[in-house]
């Protein structure tokens, strides 16, 4: 059964700092990995989707890397801003016990960017 771990659980940084969020997964036979952002009490906003054949994806100040063999992904945020404060979740798809598919999520990293 796939398990996803995110470290750290919480992170507080001053504005302008570059930072890295980590995600690890136990079963490296994944098709893709998706990073989401969740603001308090809100839904999930997709940030980046990395297919298994890709090493990284970039969107603006965000860069996500994927190392399937080691079961790891990182989300790099450059020049952090207070508006980046949110919980960041990574998720990988996999077979569920009932024969279909589901996303397995980590518990997230809660990021606070201090002005």
Partner 1 sequence: ETGVTQTPRHLVMGMTNKKSLKCEQHLGHNAMYWYKQSAKKPLELMFVYSLEERVENNSVPSRFSPECPNSSHLFLHLHTLQPEDSALYLCASSQGTELIYGYTFGSGTRLTVV
Where along the sequence are the contacts to partner 1 (CB under 8 A)? 4, 30-32, 34, 36, 41-46, 49, 51, 89, 91, 93-94, 96, 98, 100-107
Closest distance of CB 107 from partner 1, Å: 5
Token pair belonging to 58? 């970039």
Considering the complex, state which of residue 19 and residue 93 has its C-beta at the smaller distance from partner 1. Answer: 93
Instruction: Round to whole Å and give the CA distance between 64 and 8.
Output: 16
Closest distance of CB 84 from partner 1, Å: 19
Considering the complex, state which of residue 15 and residue 55 has its C-beta at the smaller distance from partner 1. Answer: 55
Instruction: Map tokens 């893709």 to a residue.
Output: 32
Closest distance of CB 44 from partner 1, Å: 4
Considering the complex, state which of residue 58 and residue 96 has its C-beta at the smaller distance from partner 1. Answer: 96
Instruction: Count Cα neighbours of 52 within 13 Å in the Cβ-side half-sphere.
Output: 13
Peptide bond before residue 115 is cis, with ω within 30 degrees of 0? no
Instruction: Using alpha carbons, list the distances in angstroms from residue 11 to 53, 94, 101.
Output: 30, 28, 31
């Amino acid at each position: 059964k796939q398990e996803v771990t995110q470290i750290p659980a919480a992170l507080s940084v001053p504005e302008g700092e570059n930072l890295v969020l980590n995600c690890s997964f136990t079963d490296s036979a994944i098709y893709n990995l998706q990073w989401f952002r969740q603001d308090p009490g809100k839904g999930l906003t997709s940030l980046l989707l990395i297919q298994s054949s890709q090493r990284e994806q970039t969107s603006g100040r965000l860069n996500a890397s994927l190392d399937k063999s080691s079961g790891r992904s990182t989300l790099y945020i450059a020049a952090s801003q207070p508006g980046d404060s949110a919980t960041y979740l990574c998720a990988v798809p996999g077979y569920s016990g009932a024969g279909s598919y589901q996303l397995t999520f980590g518990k997230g990293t809660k990021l606070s960017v201090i002005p």
